[in-house]
């Protein structure tokens, strides 16, 4: 799970995080995330826990010492660096979901997509597009395709929905591209 250490200005962000956490727990889907107790991270973790689900946190020691670590998780893994945290999360999950967030959230989403593009992973990457939060990012990706910097089959790796149920269905049905084509041909994409 990738999401903000803030809650944003709209109550809808908070209610969507809680609803997603409840939904994951009810479906028996465990959650691995950055280990925080603040922002949307804390809200979704609390919702999973409150509904009997499993939550694993992976936090760098620096953030743990800043007292942002959730103290009610089934398991907390502490890493030495942010980069090690991402590798550990990658090893533990079957797919990625992002809720609204900042630089860290986008960094994690694009790293997961890059791993898929390179064929290193074949896991689904989904955006829960609460309040159309990711619309500008999605338009940027479409612009990258139209300008010849991103292949459409790689753009299509990103799954997007405003509905929790629809996003989880897309993720369940996800098939990674057969062959990852990174280098553009002479004609562009």
For the chain, percent of residues with pLDDT exceeding 70: 93
| Residue 53 maps to a domain | yes
Q: Provide the pLDDT for residue 63.
A: 79
Could you tell me if residue 85 is inside a domain? yes
Q: What is the DSSP string of 36-52?
A: BSSHHHHHHHHHHHHTT
Q: What is the pLDDT at residue 91?
A: 97
pLDDT on residue 37: 95
Domain count, the chain: 1
The C-alpha atoms of residue 87 and residue 140 are separated, in whole angstroms, by 26
Show the domain range for 109. 11-173
Q: Whole-angstrom Cα distance, residue 102 to residue 107? A: 9
Residue 4 lies in a domain: no
Residue 163 covered by a domain: yes
**For a pLDDT cut of 90, what percent of the chain falls above it?**
88
Q: Is residue 181 part of a domain?
A: no
Question: What was the pLDDT predicted at 136?
Answer: 98
Q: Is residue 184 part of a domain?
A: no
CATH no. for residue 92? 3.40.50.450
- The sheet carrying 31-33 orders its strands as 31-33, 55-60, 75-79
């Amino acid at each position: 799970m990738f999401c903000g250490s803030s809650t944003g200005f709209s109550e809808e962000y908070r209610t969507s995080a809680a609803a997603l956490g409840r939904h994951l727990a009810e479906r028996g889907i465990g959650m691995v995330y950055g280990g925080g107790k603040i922002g949307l991270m804390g809200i979704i973790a609390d919702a999973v826990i409150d509904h009997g689900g499993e939550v694993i946190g992976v936090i760098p020691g620096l953030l743990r010492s800043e007292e942002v670590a959730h103290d009610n998780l089934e398991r907390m893994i502490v890493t030495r660096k942010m980069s090690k945290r991402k590798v550990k999360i990658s090893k533990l999950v079957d797919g990625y979901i992002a809720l609204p967030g900042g630089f860290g959230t986008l960094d994690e989403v694009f790293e997961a997509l890059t791993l898929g593009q390179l064929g290193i992973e074949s896991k689904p990457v989904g955006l829960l597009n609460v309040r159309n939060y990711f619309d500008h990012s999605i338009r940027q990706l479409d612009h990258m395709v139209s300008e010849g910097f991103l292949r459409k089959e790689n753009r299509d790796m990103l799954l997007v929905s405003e509905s929790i149920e629809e996003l989880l269905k897309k993720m369940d049905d996800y098939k990674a591209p057969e062959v990852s084509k990174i280098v553009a041909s002479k004609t562009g994409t």
